[in-house]
Amino acid sequence: MKRFLTVLLFGFLVFLSNVGCFPCNLSQKIAEKAVEEKIKHETGEDVDVDISSSSEALRLIPAPLRYPGAHVKGKVTSSTEKGKGSVVVLSTNDPLNKVIRFYKNRPGYSVILNATTLRGGMITLKKRTNEDEGAMVFIGKDEDNASLTNIVITLIED
């Protein structure tokens, strides 16, 4: 549980730092290393933090959970002997309610918790074929650009 909360926390940090956009690549790498070291210090776990908009992050997301046309804003991954977890931050120009509807009905996944409102929220999904795999999806409007909807997907595999 501690690993899950740590990955989730730093996923939000990646999201928040990426929304502001670093002025240059060097600042981005320094921020990534600082987050990696903080996680390692707090949990003893090695993590890989990538605050870039790498399209390779989409491969971390199971196909049914990839929002069509969304752009990657950043990712954090963690892997230990107990399991692995990832946080991927996406953004789309689609309206909030359309994104929420998409995640409420994903093939192969059951909705465990639906805490959404007109302003966003969280949907927790569990893979039907494997109880140890699931995702928490946080959906909300971008604070700096109201036309964007942000999607923070936390994936856990135990």
State pLDDT tens for residues 12-49. Answer: 555 555 544 444 466 667 777 887 788 788 877 777 77
pTM (two decimals): 0.72
- Residue 101: which domain range? 2-157
- Tens digit of each residue's pLDDT (9 = 90 or more) over 56-115: 788 889 999 999 999 998 887 776 666 677 889 999 999 999 999 999 999 999 999 999
pLDDT recorded at residue 40: 80
Is the predicted pLDDT of residue 146 greater than 60, yes or no? yes
Which of residues 129 and 31 earns the better pLDDT score? 129
Number of domains forming the structure of the chain: 1
Query: Looking at residues 117-138, what average pLDDT do you find?
Result: 87
Confidence of residue 152 (pLDDT cuts 50, 70, 90): very high
Confidence of residue 54 (pLDDT cuts 50, 70, 90): low
Is the predicted pLDDT of residue 135 greater than 70, yes or no? yes
Confidence of residue 142 (pLDDT cuts 50, 70, 90): confident
Q: What secondary structure, in 3-state letters, does the chain show?
A: CHHHHHHHHHHHHHHHHHHHCCCCHHHHHHHHHHHHHHHHHHHCCCEEEECCCCHHHHHHCCHHHCCCCCEEEEEEEEEECCEEEEEEEEEECCCHHHHHHHHHCCCCEEEEEEEEECCEEEEEEEECCCCCEEEEEEEEECCCCCCCEEEEEEEEEC
